[in-house]
């Protein structure tokens, strides 16, 4: 593969949105759009004849590498098993339960200032939070706490290993020279 | 990653020129082209102090740790001047007090350079753009969760910042221990249905642990998370789910 | 390209984090790890001999497609967001944590001779460093270690691949970089 083609391939690979020919032209400081178009055509043919895992798709006025549709089933499996992240809302709710347990939903909601039914349900389903019991109040509201899975997720021996707010405060502010 | 070189004159402190006293020492050893294992301690001490003096004269804030190092250097220098009593002739070179940490610091500084020389992600090499990043944050996603302890406490701190300080009760170690014990007891009861009061103490080692367990049981009873029952005949106290 | 190779290529292409052989095995419901390893080796050779825009990198316990380092300059032009930089202080702290982990903040500070709370916080925020737990000492100080993201950033298969610490006596005139 000649250098220009390889460089264009690397740009296609790293690009977040479909790459326009003009953009490639600017990045590589080329005069000629045709050279780029030829390289793209040649890449597309190569992917096709080589029957690779991905192909070159002309889309939304640009070019983008995409996995072959016939492999969609495998990719979906990959995405299903991908370690998910917790949303910010779930993270906040979880942290309140972790630090303030045993705690009532109404207290979680007081602290977060929003309804937490949905995030608590998510956390219950993921077995990070459990119902420890019911409080002797009108309506017998449920009391929430964390689970063994919670400890495992964060690799904690027990709740005493949770870092405290003081630990975090002791670290001070992030170093100003590091642009985050 | 590249270093930040711009230092605005009115904001300078020594910590921005040198990342601490060790860094300044490395600079002096390097400038004088001396062997780190045979540091001319008098010369380096003199230059080190001169450096601090100069800093002060141009109104640069000299942090405490730089002064501590100056004292250490002066101390080593004075020990070098003392005649060694013959019976202690095999005493270690006083300079080792500074040479050892300096050598280790240097090694790790080299290591940092070695790391930066590697093909760095998002600088030398790039992975494919994460096109589904937004989707990855959804609540609906099943499966495992990838998250760190720092994120957890960071989230909690954000909440604490938002709510009134009167809600900020102190999480002292004891309080946390009790909470932790409560959680364990609760798991235990969930598993077994009920547990004998004495069972809770059998594995306890220290007096502190016993107190923590006792407080946990009291607190749980107060919150009606558990029911404490005593057998009429045997006198055995058992704890049940509330 | 045979189907298995192409499918593995598409998985590598779509994966967000380095893909472990076991993960590929699970997704494709294969019995045999060797078939996968052979396909990966063959892909790696193809990328190399074909001098493509990307290569197969063994990193952080898995495999990941990455653009060739010699094309970094072009990709940097494509990516308009500047990569977050680490200051010298943060790099020093990071290398100490990497080599000495599990390590306490006080030990990092002993080695660097300065307060490291801010730089540790920066590194925690960037997920390059993590809290591993607490040490059974007065005050129950937190224990720090590095993350998978750290391995990914510096192209390391695992911690044993960290460059070995140099013997200073062999170094002669070479000095580490600093601002002077």
Q: What is the pLDDT of residues B28-40, one digit of tens each?
A: 888 888 888 888 9
Judge whether C26 is closer than 8 Å to chain B, CB to CB. Answer: no
Q: Which residue of B has its CA nearest to C120?
A: B150
The DSSP call for residue A99 is H
Q: Which residues of B222-232 are buried (b: 16+ CB within 10 A; e: fewer)?
A: ebebbeeeeee
Judge whether A138 is closer than 8 Å to chain B, CB to CB. Answer: no
Judge whether C162 is closer than 8 Å to chain B, CB to CB. Answer: yes
Between positions 43 and 82 of A, the ones with CB within 8 A of C are 50-54, 65, 67-68, 71, 74-75, 77-79, 81-82
Q: What is the pLDDT along chain C (180 residues), one digit of tens a residue?
A: 678 999 999 999 988 888 999 999 999 999 899 999 999 999 999 999 988 999 999 999 899 999 999 999 899 888 876 666 788 889 999 999 999 999 999 999 999 988 899 999 999 988 899 988 888 888 888 899 999 889 999 999 999 999 888 777 665 545 565 443
Q: What is the pLDDT of residues A163-177, one digit of tens each?
A: 877 787 788 777 555
* pLDDT confidence of residue C179: 41
C-alpha to C-alpha distances, B99 to B31, B40, B94, B112, C177, nearest whole angstrom: 17, 11, 9, 20, 20
Q: Which of C53, C54, C89, C108 to mutate to test the interface with A (most CBs of A within 10 A)?
A: C53
Whether B41 shows a pLDDT value over 70: the answer reads yes
Judge whether B164 is closer than 8 Å to chain A, CB to CB. Answer: no
Q: To the nearest whole percent, how much of chain B has pLDDT over 90?
A: 7
* pLDDT confidence of residue B182: 86
Judge whether B107 is closer than 8 Å to chain C, CB to CB. Answer: yes
Listed residue (B228, B225, B222, B219) closest to B242, CA to CA: B225
Judge whether C135 is closer than 8 Å to chain A, CB to CB. Answer: no
Map tokens 């020492």 to a residue: B25
Cα–Cα distance between B228 and B198 in angstroms, integer? 12
* pLDDT confidence of residue A21: 92
Judge whether B116 is closer than 8 Å to chain A, CB to CB. Answer: no
Alpha helices in chain C (DSSP H): 3-14, 21-28, 33-49, 72-78, 88-100, 105-112, 117-125, 148-153
State the average pLDDT over residues A45-71. 88
* pLDDT confidence of residue B4: 43
* pLDDT confidence of residue B85: 61
Please answer yes or no on whether C130 and B120 come within 8 Å at the CB atom. no
* pLDDT confidence of residue C5: 92
Backbone φ and ψ of B132, nearest 5°: -105, 20
Listed residue (B64, B37, B62) closest to B50, CA to CA: B62
Judge whether B6 is closer than 8 Å to chain A, CB to CB. Answer: no
Cβ neighbours for A177, distance < 8 A, ≥ 6 positions apart: B4, B16, C87, C89, C90
3-state secondary structure of A180: coil
* Min distance A54 CA to chain C CA atoms (Å): 6
* pLDDT confidence of residue B178: 81
Give the mean pLDDT of chain B: 73
User: Among C57, C95, C180, whose Cβ lies nearest the Cβ of B112?
Assistant: C95
Whether B207 shows a pLDDT value over 90: the answer reads no
Cα–Cα distance between C132 and A68 in angstroms, integer? 41
Cα–Cα distance between B45 and B80 in angstroms, integer? 12
Q: To the nearest whole percent, how much of chain A has pLDDT over 90?
A: 36
Neighbours of chain B (3+ CB pairs under 8 A): A, C
pLDDT grade, residue B27 (50/70/90)?
Answer: confident
Structure tokens at B84: 């060694």
Q: Which residue of C has its CA nearest to A23?
A: C78
Give the mean pLDDT of chain A: 86
Q: What is the pLDDT of residues B94-106, one digit of tens each?
A: 888 889 899 999 9
Whether B9 shows a pLDDT value over 70: the answer reads no
C83 vs B108, residue with greater confidence: B108
pLDDT grade, residue B45 (50/70/90)?
Answer: very high
Whether B141 shows a pLDDT value over 70: the answer reads no
* Min distance B23 CA to chain C CA atoms (Å): 8
Q: Which residues of B176-186 are buried (b: 16+ CB within 10 A; e: fewer)?
A: bbbbbbbbbbb
Between positions 17 and 36 of B, the ones with CB within 8 A of A are none
What stretch of H or E contains A55? strand A54-59
Q: Which of C1, C12, C13, C126 to mutate to test the interface with A (most CBs of A within 10 A)?
A: C13
Q: What is the pLDDT of residues B17-26, one digit of tens each?
A: 677 889 889 8
Lowest-confidence region among A1-10, A90-99, A145-154, B211-220: B211-220
Which residues of chain B does C125 touch, with a Cβ-Cβ cutoff of 8 Å? 150, 154
* Min distance A176 CA to chain C CA atoms (Å): 8
Map tokens 């040649």 to a residue: A42
Q: Are A6 and C51 in contact (CB under 8 A)?
A: yes
Q: To the nearest whole percent, how much of chain A has pLDDT over 70?
A: 93
Cis peptide before C131 (omega within 30 of 0): no
User: Among B136, B153, B155, whose Cβ lies nearest the Cβ of A85?
Assistant: B136
Listed residue (A63, A5, A11, B125) closest to C51, CA to CA: A5
Whether B87 shows a pLDDT value over 70: the answer reads no
Whether B5 shows a pLDDT value over 60: the answer reads no
- Secondary structure in 3-state letters for chain B: CCCCCCCCHHHCEHHHHCCCHHHHHHHHHHHCCCCHHHCCHHHHHHHHHHHHHHHHHCCCECCHHHHHHHHHHHHHHHHHHCCCCHHHCCCCCCCHHHHHHHHHHHHHHHHHHHHHHCCCECCCECCCCCCCHHHHCCCCCCCCECCCHHHHHHHHHHHHHHCCHHHCCCCCHHHHHHHHHHHHHHHHHHHHCEEECCHHHHCCCCHHHHHHHHHHHHHHHHCCCEEEEECCCCCCEEEEEC
User: Among B23, B36, B103, whose Cβ lies nearest the Cβ of C178?
Assistant: B23
CA C118 to chain centre: 22
Whether B179 shows a pLDDT value over 50: the answer reads yes
* pLDDT confidence of residue B170: 42
CA B15 to chain centre: 20
Q: Which residue of C has its CA nearest to A164?
A: C142
pLDDT grade, residue B237 (50/70/90)?
Answer: confident
* pLDDT confidence of residue B62: 73
pLDDT grade, residue B8 (50/70/90)?
Answer: very low
* pLDDT confidence of residue C146: 94
Listed residue (A42, A37, A34) closest to A1, CA to CA: A42
């Amino acid at each position: 593969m000649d250098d220009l083609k390889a460089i264009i391939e690397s740009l296609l690979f790293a690009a977040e949105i479909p790459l326009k020919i003009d953009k490639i032209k600017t990045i590589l400081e080329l005069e000629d759009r045709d050279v780029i178009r030829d390289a793209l055509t040649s890449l597309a043919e190569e992917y096709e004849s080589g029957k690779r895992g991905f192909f070159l798709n002309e889309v939304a006025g640009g070019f983008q590498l995409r996995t072959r549709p016939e492999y969609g089933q495998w990719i979906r499996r990959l995405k299903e098993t991908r370690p998910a992240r917790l949303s910010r809302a779930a993270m906040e709710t979880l942290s309140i339960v972790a630090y303030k347990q045993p705690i009532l939903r109404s207290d979680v909601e007081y602290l977060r200032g929003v309804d937490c039914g949905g995030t608590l349900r998510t956390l219950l389903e993921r077995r990070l939070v459990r119902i420890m019991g019911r409080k002797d109040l009108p309506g017998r509201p449920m009391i929430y706490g964390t689970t063994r899975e919670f400890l495992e997720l964060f690799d904690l021996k027990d709740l005493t290993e949770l870092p405290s707010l003081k630990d975090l405060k002791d670290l001070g502010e992030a170093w100003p020279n590091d642009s985050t | 990653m590249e270093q930040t070189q711009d230092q605005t004159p009115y904001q300078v402190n020594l910590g921005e020129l040198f990342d601490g006293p060790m860094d300044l020492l490395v600079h002096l050893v390097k400038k004088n082209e001396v062997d780190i294992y045979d540091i001319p301690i008098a010369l380096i001490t003199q230059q080190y102090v001169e450096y601090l003096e100069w800093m002060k004269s141009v109104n640069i804030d000299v942090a405490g740790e730089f002064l501590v190092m100056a004292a250490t250097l002066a101390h080593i220098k004075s020990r070098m001047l003392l005649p060694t009593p013959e019976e202690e002739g095999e005493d270690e070179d006083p300079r080792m007090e500074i040479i050892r940490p300096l050598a280790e610091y240097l090694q790790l500084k080299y290591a940092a350079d070695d790391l930066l020389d590697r093909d760095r992600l998002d600088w030398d090499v790039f992975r494919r753009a994460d096109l589904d990043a937004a989707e990855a944050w959804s609540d609906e996603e099943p499966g495992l969760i990838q998250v760190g302890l720092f994120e957890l406490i960071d989230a909690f701190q954000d909440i604490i910042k938002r709510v009134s300080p009167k809600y900020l009760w102190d999480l002292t170690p004891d309080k946390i221990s009790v909470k932790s014990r409560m959680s364990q007891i609760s798991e235990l009861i969930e598993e077994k249905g009920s547990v004998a009061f004495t069972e809770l103490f059998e594995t306890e080692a220290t007096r502190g642990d016993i107190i923590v367990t006792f407080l946990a049981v009291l607190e749980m009873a107060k919150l009606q998370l558990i029911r404490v029952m005593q057998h009429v005949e045997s006198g055995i106290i058992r704890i049940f789910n509330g």
